[in-house]
């Protein structure tokens, strides 16, 4: 399975389940990496990343199994003063939908990692691919690891 197909399958799953969550129903925007950040209001950012530099291949000719590894990072941003528990619940609404699931018969998710809240006072948050807008958001982040199985 190509990495683009992996990302497409994960994004499709998260996007289809998001509207039924507490925060999806409340209109909290769901974004993926390198998408415009809303000017105001809470939002969730989902980053899908490969975490291993090389793919592992096992077995002999015509019987090879390839394994690749990745991580889904979920960040919730709520205006400062919204409450820590709300940012944690928002992150967990995404990580719970992926935990211990299999997608497209090839993507196996592991257990989720606990959320870690962080207040972005400086505006530059080194765990993120983009700066926090105006540094006036409280962030919680969590992740779910996965592996991709395939034949080579």
pLDDT (tens digit per residue) in 93-136: 999 999 999 999 999 999 999 888 775 554 455 555 555 555 67
Q: What is the maximal distance between C-alpha atoms in the chain?
A: 59
pLDDT computed for residue 150 by the predictor: 81
Q: How confident is the model at residue 13 (pLDDT cuts 50, 70, 90)?
A: very high
CA distance 7 to 106: 12
Q: Is the pLDDT of residue 152 over 70?
A: no
Ordered by where they begin, the domains of the chain are: 3-151 (3.30.2000.20)
CA distance 45 to 66: 29
More confident position, 96 or 39: 96
Residue 101 corresponds to which tokens in the numbers above?
A: 């699931």
- pLDDT tens digits, 66-101: 888 999 999 998 888 888 899 999 999 999 999 999
% of the chain with per-residue pLDDT over 70: 85
The torsion angles phi and psi of 74, rounded to 5 degrees, stand at: -120, 130
């Amino acid at each position: 399975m190509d990495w683009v197909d992996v990302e497409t399958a994960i994004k499709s799953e998260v996007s289809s389940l998001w509207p039924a969550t507490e925060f999806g129903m409340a209109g909290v925007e769901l974004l993926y990496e390198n998408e415009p950040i809303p000017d105001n209001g809470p939002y969730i950012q989902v980053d899908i990343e490969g975490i291993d530099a090389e793919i592992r291949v096992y077995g002999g000719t015509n019987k090879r199994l390839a394994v690749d590894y990745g991580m889904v990072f979920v960040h919730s941003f709520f205006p400062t003063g919204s409450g820590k528990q709300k940012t944690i619940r928002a992150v967990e609404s995404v990580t719970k939908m992926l935990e211990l699931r299999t997608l497209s018969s090839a993507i196996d998710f592991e257990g989720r990692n606990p959320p870690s809240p962080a207040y972005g006072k400086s505006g530059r948050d080194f765990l993120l691919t983009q700066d926090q807008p105006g540094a006036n958001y409280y962030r919680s982040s969590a992740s779910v690891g996965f592996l991709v199985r395939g034949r080579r």
